[in-house]
Amino acid sequence: MNPPADPLTANAPAGATLATRFRQEFDDAPDGIWQAPGRVNLIGEHTDYNEGFVLPFAIDRTARVAVRVRPDSSVRLLSTYGDQGVVSSSLDNLEPGSAKGWTKYPLGVMWALKQRGVDVPGVDLLLDSNVPLGAGLSSSHAIECAVISAINDLTGAGLQPQEMVLATQRAENDFVGAPTGIMDQSASLRGSEGHAVFLDCRDQNVRLVPFETQPAGLVMLVIDTKVSHSHADGGYASRRASCELGAEVLGVKALRDVQVADLAEANGLLDVVTFRRVRHVVTENARVLQTVELLAGAGPAAIGSLLDASHASMRDDFEISCPELDLAVDTARASGAIGARMTGGGFGGAAIALTPASAEQSVRDAVATAFADARYKVPDIFTVSPAAGARRIA
């Protein structure tokens, strides 16, 4: 097992805490420190923007921001990634397309909050994160959720989690330019230790579902393929457009309203590709509901075949997998995992493999060997467990 490094010190100079580093950089103490986790989606992929069901969980890897309110409308941003130095901006000039790199995420949140009428103050902000970047574990939403929690607290705006979810979605959609749904920020803001977040994306209703691997003798392995992806690229948007077309032709508000039993009829009404996209979403919604039921009864050891079916559906019907993800999933299954699937938006990123603790090492070794044989990048393999959602930590 590789426990995640302490994010307060992992990327910062040895021994320094985020607060100490903040003081060094900005000559004063922060008003507070907020943290928000990345997420793994257990099941329910590309169902969120179809008003369907998802079952993600917040993971024990977090983004942390130290923030101090300024007396003016300037924003100074620094990360421990060490790539851009201090980036200075002004709240008065924020507009979509005006930010680069990781600063899109905090600035997008500030922009979206201003659009909602929140009186956003200028801030100095230092970010540290141990959510792997570009791995499909929502590193960007972890940043956004830490920032929005900080601003919500510092301004006393009193936004409820559902409102913060919509504000971060607006930041992603309109400022960052990624037409994503509400799953990732819901997991990050509303996650709870030892639970998966069963979210109905039509009304944002959440039910926390107990999900613990250790008592069942299992581990949840994440296999980061190191194939980077961006939801601002065309693939995600084109899948979303197919779903919208499918709903329109079938005469429903969203694909959430189509049931598995309706698929035979839908097949006659849709072109071949749109039908396959629709079939993924409709069957995936059903798999989420079955997973929730199984977790409440037989427990995590019973959900393996649903994870496998979800992956096959994304590979064959939704066509968002890639050779590296398929190799990770197939190898994990062949070497002892009880179920595996790609997680997140697809076209790269990570797979998850639900694995008996006794088979963890053989799965790790087999995947590493298979990737080396295929001359793929060296994958990063680590365990995750369901952790708490965003909160103030100092």
Closest distance of CB 197 from ligand GLA, Å: 13
Q: Give every CB contact of residue 173 below 8 A, 6+ residues apart in sequence.
A: 179, 180
Q: Which is catalytic among the residues 124, 128, 184, 317? A: 184
Cβ-based nearer residue to ligand GLA, 124 or 284: 284
Cβ-based nearer residue to ligand GLA, 139 or 335: 139
Using DSSP bridges, classify how beta strands 32-43 and 53-69 pair: parallel, antiparallel or unpaired.
antiparallel
Cβ-based nearer residue to ligand GLA, 181 or 191: 181
Cβ-based nearer residue to ligand GLA, 46 or 64: 46
**Position with the least CB separation from ligand GLA:** 345
Q: Is 184 tagged catalytic? A: yes
Q: How far apart are CA 202 and CA 199, in angstroms?
A: 9
Is 47:243 a contact under the CB 8 Å cutoff? no
Closest distance of CB 310 from ligand GLA, Å: 10
Structural tokens at position 320: 């968002």
Q: How far apart are CA 48 and CA 262, in angstroms?
A: 20
Structural tokens at position 52: 């369907």
Q: How far apart are CA 375 and CA 225, in angstroms?
A: 12
Q: Residues interacting with ligand GLA, by CB under 6 A?
A: 45-46, 48-49, 180-181, 183-184, 231, 344-345
Closest distance of CB 231 from ligand GLA, Å: 6
- DSSP letters, 104-127, are HHHHHHHHHHHHTT--PPPEEEEE
**Burial class, 205, CB count within 10 angstroms (exposed 0-12 / middle 13-18 / buried 19+):** exposed
Closest distance of CB 39 from ligand GLA, Å: 8
Q: How far apart are CA 77 and CA 110, in angstroms?
A: 12
Nearest C-alpha neighbor of 58 from the set 206, 233, 232: 206
Amino acid at 88: S
- For residue 321, give the 3-state DSSP assignment: coil
Q: Which residues of 55-70 are buried (b: 16+ CB within 10 A; e: fewer)?
A: bbbbbbbbbbbbbbbb
Closest distance of CB 239 from ligand GLA, Å: 9
Q: How far apart are CA 15 and CA 38, in angstroms?
A: 24
Nearest C-alpha neighbor of 344 from the set 320, 368, 371, 313: 320
Structural tokens at position 261: 């039993």
Cβ-based nearer residue to ligand GLA, 48 or 60: 48
What sections of the chain are H helices per DSSP?
Answer: 18-26, 104-115, 139-155, 161-170, 183-190, 234-250, 263-269, 272-296, 304-313, 323-334, 360-373
Closest distance of CB 235 from ligand GLA, Å: 11
Cβ-based nearer residue to ligand GLA, 344 or 386: 344
Cβ-based nearer residue to ligand GLA, 68 or 315: 315
Closest distance of CB 287 from ligand GLA, Å: 13
Cβ-based nearer residue to ligand GLA, 175 or 371: 175
Closest distance of CB 41 from ligand GLA, Å: 6
Q: Which residues are catalytic, by number? A: 184
